[in-house]
Amino acid sequence: MKKNRYIPIFIIFFLFYQFIFANINADSLFFSIKKKKPEEKLQILIDFIDNNISDSPEQIKSIAQRTLELSQKYRLKKSESDALTCLAIIEKNLGNYQKAEKYYNEALEISEKINNLNLKAYILNNKGILFDLKGDYNTAIEIYNQSLNIYLRLENIEMKYSLYNNIGGSYRRLGNFAKALEYSLQSLEYDEKYGEGKSLATSYDNIGIIYYYLEDAEKALDSFNKSLEIRQKINDKKGIAASYNNISIIYRKTGEVEKILEILQKSISIKKEIGDQLGMANSMMNLGNYYFSIDNKKEAEKCFKKSLIIKRELGNHRNIVKALIGLGNIYTERNDYETFLKYYDECLKLAQENDSGDLLKHIYKDLAINYATFNKFKKAYDIKSKHISLVDSLNSEKNQTKIAELRVQYETEKKERMIGLLQNENEKQDLIRNFLIVIMVIVFLGTILLIKLIIDKKKEIVQRKSIEKQIREINKSLENRVQTEFEKRQQHQLLLIQKSKLESLGRLSAGIVHEVNQPITRISLGLDNILIRKTMNKLDENYMMKKFNSLFCEIERIKEIMEHIRLFSRHQNQNADEKLDVNQIIKNTTKLLQTQYKNHNIILDFDLTENLPSISGNKFRLEQILMNLLSNAKDAVEERFMIDENIDKKIILRSYLKSENVILEIEDYGIGIDEVNLNHIFDPFFTTKDSDKGTGLGLSIVQGIIEEMNGKIEVESEKGKFTKVKIVFKAEKY
């Protein structure tokens, strides 16, 4: 039995040797397996194709077609699907994307009929790669996720992380670098533990390209060099050429021009040898950029045109755009406006069709510069505005923070794993020692506590007698004093409420300035446009009326903001109840808070149920309650962030209907409240804040206002994790 098991392996090796080194043709291969059973024969052929699919594509293609015919003849569906998949990969490598997609669809249909999940996931993964090459990145991500879901069901961890790499690459080409880095780092972490060869090199390539687009040349070059070293060890010629190509791009960015020509020539030589048409086109593109940088426009144009011809044949839109950009820049240098415009119009159309954010960014940047060169300053200004807007969206503070956090998290977890291995043994010894110390401390503290309890008991007896005497005297005048204190406290409460309003307005100054500054900015821009029109003699009545209406709208917005602040800050009639929309109150309150919270990197997350019934109460009192609760939440998350910088500074506002009640919740992931303080938070004047942070409204007074509105307040918290404040009001329609 053991001998028979090794026969197919020997035959594969023998056939492989003959095919590569002795140029055995397809007929010879089929003749050598003629006497085998159909299943064995087809499996040997498919294994042979898999091992040689990158070499002699036309000869391998003919073997794959014969294999498909045999599979159909013997009605072996699994082998038929395998043969179709091999043909699809070959056509993809040859640049025949339409044929490749047809073969993948036929293979998928068979895999579904025979219910082979592993085969289906493999085909979907390769189909995703095809759409990636076509430049349809959103479809590629959708197909990759279908494959990923199947592999997760099959618990295939290796393929899970391989797909993370593919998905990360598609997000990168869409310009979503935070998502791309998130997936690629997960894949790299797995490959560094268990992977080897192409898988690990691909992870380094993907991360290198992401850092290139993030303009971190040092990290990009480090990743590409690691990939090159791995590919050279395993003699992956196609990968080596791709690594040379990537490194040349970094050298061009860092200004090391003298190194570019040598490394690109190595890349082109390898790609010619292995027949990699797309790789050849990319290397010619980079060679054209090199000649352009040394002012050899003639050679640059030749390279760009050669690259464009190959890419048009392959139908690779993303790479077509890059070649068109190169040619457009050359015709700008030649002051040929019409030819320049033709190339860039096609660039924009292709990039917009494929939703490629990173390509659009480069196109807008070059277009703005080139329009200015042709003295088309209005067009240059419009394109530059689009470029700035796109750069802001791609490189937003949230994305940059996310990218930095992902990198720090990856490095931290890597170091923690190494440190954990070293500390494991020491922890065992420390545990025994600490246990003994704890027992000794407990015994010592127990003795002291017992002595203290005896002393306190004696003092308590004496104090109790004294207190009982005082209570009897105080009770005589208690009713009058209670009434007096109640009136004083009510007055004091009103003063505290007004003080809290002024404190809140002080804290909201940044938000108020931002809200007012926006319409002022628009007014300023509108006036500038009028002046520009006047200078250009393009003022007309319709334009002036449209502009004046726009300016008056912005002025009205400023008046509304000021009126809201005036009404909020003045003394309100505490009995002025009205029907209130809870969601609108939340939006009004948070409107002026958005800028302040954004400046502190605090996320306000809204989970509001639409069409809630109204409640009855004073809207300014309710706004003030929300403002103070949000202030408490902000302080809590910032205090926790000082301890643990890895947390999300997040506050969630919810509203929903439950059992004829409108519920309003404010939940933060801050420092939390310990159990002891949680029992006292509604006590008058109780606070855990420092005096320099203000007394705030105080939960005691908040509770009183809510109860005046026939509501109730509940607080749930866990020290170091979260605090949730729930306010319950009776729904008006009930």
Angstrom distance (rounded) from CA 542 to CA 548: 10
pLDDT < 70: residue spans in the chain: 1-36, 54-57, 195-196, 315-319, 354-359, 362, 387, 390-429, 475-518, 522, 557, 559-576, 684-686, 689-698, 733-734
Q: Are residues 684 and 585 in the same domain?
A: yes
Q: Are residues 383 and 407 in the same domain?
A: no
pLDDT digits (tens, 9 = 90+) for 536-588: 887 788 878 877 777 777 787 676 666 666 655 555 555 567 899 999 999 88
Q: Are residues 470 and 430 in the same domain?
A: yes
Strand pairing class (603-608; 650-658): parallel
- Residue at which a domain ends, from 359, 375, 393: 393
> What is the domain count for the chain?
4
The answer to whether 374 and 407 are in contact (CB under 8 A) is: no
pLDDT at 20: 41
Q: Are residues 357 and 415 in the same domain?
A: no
User: Is 360 contained in some domain?
Assistant: yes
pLDDT at 366: 73
Angstrom distance (rounded) from CA 136 to CA 130: 9
pLDDT at 185: 83
pLDDT at 44: 80
The answer to whether 654 and 608 are in contact (CB under 8 A) is: yes
User: Is 158 contained in some domain?
Assistant: no
- Residue at which a domain ends, from 448, 478, 508: 478
Helix (H, G, I), strand (E, B) or coil at 672: coil
Q: Are residues 376 and 411 in the same domain?
A: no
| Torsions phi, psi for 728 (to 5 deg) | -115, 125
Collect contacts of 519-526 with beta carbons under 8 A, ≥24 apart: 519/554, 519/555, 519/557, 519/558, 520/554, 520/558, 522/550, 522/554, 523/551, 523/554, 523/555, 526/550, 526/551, 526/554
pLDDT at 109: 94
At 376, which CATH number? 1.25.40.10
Q: Are residues 430 and 354 in the same domain?
A: no
Q: Are residues 604 and 651 in the same domain?
A: yes
Q: By C-alpha distance, which of 643, 651, 501 is closest to 566?
A: 501
User: Is 58 contained in some domain?
Assistant: no
At 595, which CATH number? 3.30.565.10
pLDDT at 553: 74
Angstrom distance (rounded) from CA 361 to CA 465: 83
Q: Are residues 383 and 402 in the same domain?
A: no
Cα–chain-centroid distance for residue 35? 57
Angstrom distance (rounded) from CA 733 to CA 731: 6
User: Is 372 contained in some domain?
Assistant: yes
- Helix (H) or strand (E) segment spanning residue 150: helix 137-153
Structure tokens at 293: 């940088």
User: Is 451 contained in some domain?
Assistant: yes
Report CA torsion sign: 81, 82, 83, 86. positive
Q: Are residues 334 and 469 in the same domain?
A: no
Cα–chain-centroid distance for residue 316? 27
User: Is 369 contained in some domain?
Assistant: yes
Q: Within 10 A of 507 (CB to CB), how many other CB atoms are there?
A: 17
- Residue at which a domain ends, from 341, 363, 393: 393
Q: Are residues 611 and 723 in the same domain?
A: yes
Q: Are residues 345 and 466 in the same domain?
A: no
Residue identified by tokens 């139908």 is 315
pLDDT digits (tens, 9 = 90+) for 617-644: 888 888 888 888 998 899 899 999 888 8
DSSP code, position 527? H
User: Is 677 contained in some domain?
Assistant: yes
Q: Are residues 378 and 432 in the same domain?
A: no
Q: Determine the structural domain holding residue 675 and report its residue range.
A: 576-730
Q: What is the dihedral of CA 630, 633, 634, 640, to 10 degrees?
A: 180
Cα–chain-centroid distance for residue 648? 14
Angstrom distance (rounded) from CA 631 to CA 165: 42
User: Is 524 contained in some domain?
Assistant: no
pLDDT at 63: 85
